[in-house]
Structure 1
């Protein structure tokens, strides 16, 4: 079963080593699949080579190669190419609209609007976070007491004085592990986190909402001053996994779950 594995091994991610993670993952997946690696800018052209599926992994923020990504996505959909994660994701894969949709639906998410005229729908706070709606990786993020910007092109959220951020990692709908950043100022200095049943119920609510039968997902949340968890992001396109920070047996379990998921995906 030949797979095309899309990654940017040289992407200079802050606090993360994309290349190391994907070198490890591909070395283990080669025990089960034939693999060819390519840069995200080359993925569209590589589709013609007839791979059984395309696995999109640490390919970096799409905004850095938006036209190439759009061309790949359109070609894959037109040809019926199997893409993992499937292109039906409702989280970051489809942009940031989900933050607005989840806010409107009453999910435990940092309240979000995309129009300064709707500021009254948010809690009144001294400072708001404003970022581009098509942004990623905190690119363009600013903090202000008077949010401004074109309606529909920005996201506005109250700045939350959270205790810490925590991420929950899933393969399909199966929880694998959790990591958290004890220091809010150091997002990627992570350590293992033991989730409570309530924490897992929180994370699983968003996995269920996303309705992906197969794929890797990361639910990013923050612990609000009131003690509740609030969703920060639902990463379903190419979430970094921080596999170097988990115990060997957890890492092995993740690889096993991923291989099983890919086999099931190819047979679906």
Structure 2
């Protein structure tokens, strides 16, 4: 079954090498599937010739929002199989999930989208404010007095966290974790050995997302209190940092992804 692999090989991601990762991953996936690569702007036009589309390092959607919306609409209307499936409830659907999880009492950085609701957040000296439709820290500012149009921004307390850590899953199976020991250097990552409590934390969000197939990255920070708090639930095109992994772990991930894709194609 031929796959259309969507990537922007030339996107200048800060601290990440999209092209290198996708060249490696497509080379390995070709051992299991015939596939072709395309830019996200070409996906809607090209996908009728393929059995499924796999969206990988395609860059922030806000840079090509109209094209992405058209791609989603066409895929849903024609029943085209897309991996990750378009039913994701995390970043794939926007940032509303941060508000929903806050309201539901999940361990997430508390979030509101209206300056009038500032009293619902912990009182701190500085708040993070960013566009609700943003990505990749675009438009992020820090201020003591958050302002902006209600419903169009996200407001969170600025947390003096110890480090950020990411948990990577294929379907509902944990694969590996990486963390940034220096909070000022988000993409200088090293292997992290999660505790059972860490994995229980991450699995809560994978379970909440209810994706039967797909790659998910649960990004969290270690708060001053010692607990983990969700930063983002990446379920559209999470960068995987495969080049940082020991070879056995990287090979295990490739095997898991190929198996997930086979299962997805067989059941879709």
Partner of 2:219: 220
Normalised by the size of structure 1, how large is the TM-score? 0.99
SS in 2 for 1:146: coil
Matched, 1:14 2:14: yes
1:165 and 2:164 aligned: yes
Task: After TM superposition, give the deviation of residue 48 of structure 1 in Å.
Answer: 2.5
* Distance across 2 between alignment mates of 1:150 and 1:46: 38
Q: Distance in 2 between matches of 1:104 and 1:228?
A: 18
TM-score, with length taken from structure 2:
0.99
Residue 169 of structure 2 aligns to a residue in which SS?
A: strand
Residue aligning to 2:178: 179
In 2, Cα distance between the equivalents of 1:244 and 1:232?
23
**TM-fit CA distance, 1:117:** 0.2
The alignment partner of 1:143 has SS state of strand
For the pair 1:236 / 2:238, whether they are aligned, the reply is: no
Q: Give secondary structure in 2 for the equivalent of 1:4.
A: strand
State the partner residue of 2:76. Answer: 77
Q: 1:117 and 1:208 mapped to 2: Cα distance?
A: 32
Q: How many residue pairs get matched? A: 267
Pairs within 5 Å for 1:168-207 = 168-207=167-206
Distance 1:44 1:10 in 2: 19
Q: CA RMSD in A?
A: 0.3
Q: Name segments (4+ residues, structure 1) moved above 2 Å.
A: none
Instruction: Give the distance between the partners of 1:44 and 1:35, measured in 2 at CA.
Output: 16
Shift of 1:130: 0.1
Provide the C-alpha distance between the structure 1 equivalents of 2:215 and 2:124, rounded to a whole number of angstroms. 35
Structure 1 residue runs without a partner (length 5+): none
Residue equivalent to 1:28: 28
- Provide the C-alpha distance between the structure 2 equivalents of 1:216 and 1:120, rounded to a whole number of angstroms: 36
CA distance in 2 between partners of 1:35 and 1:9 (Å): 16
* Mapped partners of 1:100, 1:200: distance in 2: 23
- CA separation in 2, counterparts of 1:240 and 1:47? 22
Residue 247 (1) aligns with residue 223 (2): no
Aligned to 1:114: 113
- CA deviation after TM superposition for structure 1 residue 47, in Å: 1.9
Q: Deviations over 1:178-233 (max 9, x none)?
A: 00000000000000000000000000000000000000000000000000000000
Secondary structure in 1 aligned to 2:174? Answer: strand
Match of 1:39 in 2: 39
In structure 2, list runs of 5 or more residues that go unmatched. Answer: none
